[in-house]
Amino acid sequence: MSTRAKEILVIIMIVVFSLVFYFRKIAGGKEIIFSNLVAWVLIALLVLSLGLILILTIKGSLIGRRVVFIYVGIVLALPLFMPFTQKITISPEVRSLYEAVEKLPPGSKVLVSFDYDPPSAPELQPMGESFIRLCFQRDFKVIIMGLWPQGPQQANIAIDKILEDPEMQARNLRYGEDYVNLGYQAGNEFVIQRMGSSFKSMFPSDYRGIPYDSMPLVRNIRNFSNIDFSFNLSAGFPGSVEWVQIAVDRYGVELGLGNTAVQAPQMYTYLNSGQVVGLLGGMNGGAEFELLCDYKGKATKFMLSQSFSHMVIIAFIIIGNVAYFLGGRKSALKDK
The residues that touch another protein, with contacts defined as CB under 8 A, are: 65, 68-69, 71-73, 76, 86-87, 89, 91, 117-122, 150, 152-153, 156-157, 186-188, 190, 193-194, 197, 207-209, 265-266, 268-269, 272, 284, 306-307, 309-314, 316-317, 319-321, 324-325
Comparing CB distances to another protein, the nearer of 107 and 321 is 321
Comparing CB distances to another protein, the nearer of 108 and 193 is 193
From the CB of 4, what's the least distance to another protein, in Å? 19
Contact yes or no for 87/121 (Cβ under 8 A): no
Contact yes or no for 245/266 (Cβ under 8 A): no
From the CB of 137, what's the least distance to another protein, in Å? 25
Comparing CB distances to another protein, the nearer of 137 and 309 is 309
Comparing CB distances to another protein, the nearer of 127 and 134 is 127
- Within 10 Å of residue 79's Cβ, how many Cβ atoms? 22
Comparing CB distances to another protein, the nearer of 232 and 284 is 284
Comparing CB distances to another protein, the nearer of 76 and 217 is 76
Comparing CB distances to another protein, the nearer of 208 and 329 is 208
From the CB of 321, what's the least distance to another protein, in Å? 6
From the CB of 73, what's the least distance to another protein, in Å? 7
CA distance 230 to 324: 49
Kindly provide the b/e burial profile for residues 108-135, where b requires at least 16 CB atoms within 10 angstroms of the residue's own CB: bbbbbbbbbbeebbebbbbbbbbbbbbb
From the CB of 303, what's the least distance to another protein, in Å? 9
CA distance 13 to 23: 16
Extended beta strands in the chain, E state: 109-115, 141-146, 179-184, 229-234, 255-259, 278-281
- Helices 92-102 & 282-292 angle (0-180, nearest 10): 40
CA distance 211 to 205: 4
From the CB of 121, what's the least distance to another protein, in Å? 6
Of 218, 134, 222, 225, which Cα lies nearest the Cα of 178? 218
